[in-house]
Amino acid sequence: MSDLGLTHVALAVRDLKASVSFYEQYAAMKVVHRRLAGAEAGVAWLSDLTRPFVIVLIQAPGLSDTPLGPFGHLGVAVASREEVDRLVELARTDGSLVSGPTDSGPPVGYWAYIRDPDGNTLEVAYGQDVAFTVLAAVESGATNLEDAGVGA
């Protein structure tokens, strides 16, 4: 069986080791694949092991990209408000906190923005209703945003 749907987001990084460490610490991700792509280049795939989706980190000489953010971001759900607070304090201590925590109520929840080593923004959040919203759309037979009750 081959992959279907959204499988990954790829980010160019300056320091693969530092970026892997960041996503392990702040997003509870694990390296599921690693390879060298030449003498000075490396690739790591990271996953939270909850679904077939990875963040691909690519470090190569001369490879650079515009960081994701400040508003554009990767979003990670955590188990509790206390976990958001713990990560916020860790980010505040290491100088990577961008904003938060903020309680925006349903469906957005309690969240904060943290900057990764390359300037990309990671949102850590508790109480977002993404899974429920997607499941409700699937169960209703929605095939597009208008069918799911979202204005076009």
Q: Convert the pLDDT of each residue in 23-70 to its tens digit.
A: 999 999 999 999 987 777 899 999 999 999 999 999 988 888 889 888
Look at the domain 66-152 and name its fold: 2,3-Dihydroxybiphenyl 1,2-Dioxygenase; domain 1 (3.10.180)
pLDDT of residue 61: 80
Whether the CB-CB separation of 22 and 46 falls below 8 Å is answered with no
Which tokens hold the place of 85? 């607070």
Write down the domain spans for the chain: 1-63, 66-152
Which tokens hold the place of 134? 């997607």
Look at the domain 1-63 and name its fold: 2,3-Dihydroxybiphenyl 1,2-Dioxygenase; domain 1 (3.10.180)
pLDDT of residue 143: 64
| 13/41: higher pLDDT | 13
Per-residue pLDDT averaged across 66-87, rounded?
94
| 81 residue type, one letter | R
Nearest partner of 78 among 117, 47, 110, 114, judged by Cα:
110
Answer whether residue 106 shows pLDDT above 50: yes
pLDDT of residue 152: 41
Per-residue pLDDT averaged across 116-122, rounded?
96
Whether the CB-CB separation of 65 and 12 falls below 8 Å is answered with yes
Q: How confident is the model at residue 151 (pLDDT cuts 50, 70, 90)?
A: very low
